[in-house]
Amino acid sequence: MSHKEKITFKVLTVLIMVLIIVYLLNVNQFIFNPILEIIGAVFLPIIFTGIFYYLCRPLVQWLENRKIPTIVAILLLYSVIGSLLFIAIKTLGPIIHEQFVSFVDSVPAMIDFVIRWLESIQNQRSSIPSVVRDALPDLNEKLKTQLNQNTGYIADSIFGAFSWISNLLLAFGLVPFILFYALKDGKHFAHD
């Protein structure tokens, strides 16, 4: 075998191995899905902790240089961050609530508008050319089918959004605890 043939053989062998591994991972998803979910649940809080660590560490060091103990400095920083979050929620909460209630209140009007529009199309059938008129019953059936299918998609999307929000809240709930110990013992795992 020439050198070029050996390289081609090695590349094809690696490609076949990668494809076999992908296939086996796909076949054995029931084994790997829980592992990936655990990694996903732990990964997000660690990433946020790392970001907040590098944002908060200089403030904690500054307070430590002012002869404030580390734990007190961290708790003081948490108090300031908590106060800012409280003010933001107190300020933005009513605005978001008002927008959400306004949207929910307007949904029936939107549905009523669509129903009236479809009824007006049905009532004006005589002025519509016969080719289009003959297609309208099929269009109505297709619309009903699409609405039924989309209702399921909408419900799945809503449940997915609630799941995503609950995972995000869980992640943000863990971040302060991990961050506390990272700030407290940060000098042990990195040189500043």
Give tens-digit pLDDT for 105-129. 888 888 888 878 877 777 776 676 7
Q: List C-alpha distances in Å: 44 to 33, 55, 171, 185.
A: 17, 17, 6, 21
Using CB atoms within 10 A of its CB, is residue 178 exposed (0-12), middle (13-18) or buried (19+)?
A: middle
As a whole number, mean pLDDT of residues 148-176 equals 81
Count of all residues that appear for the chain in the document: 192
pLDDT at res. 136: 64
On the question of pLDDT at 139 being above 80, the answer is: no
Q: What is the SS3 string spanning the chain?
A: CCHHHHHHHHHHHHHHHHHHHHHHHHHCHHHHHHHHHHHHHHHHHHHHHHHHHHHHHHHHHHHHHCCCCHHHHHHHHHHHHHHHHHHHHHHHHHHHHHHHHHHHHHHHHHHHHHHHHHHHHHHCHHHCCHHHHHHHHHHHHHHHHHHHHHHHHHHHHHHHHHHHHHHHHHHHHHHHHHHHHHHHCHHHHCCC
User: pTM above the 0.75 mark?
Assistant: no
Q: Which residue has the higher pLDDT, 148 or 125?
A: 148
* Tokens linked to 86: 């409280």
Q: Residue 177 in contact with residue 48, Cβ under 8 Å?
A: no
Q: Is the pLDDT of residue 44 over 60?
A: yes
Do the beta carbons of residue 57 and residue 192 sit within 8 Å?
A: yes
CA atoms within 13 A on the CB side of 145: 6
Of 69 and 171, the structure prediction assigns the larger pLDDT to 69
Give which of 40, 41, 77 is closest to 58, Cα–Cα: 77
- pLDDT number for residue 191: 56
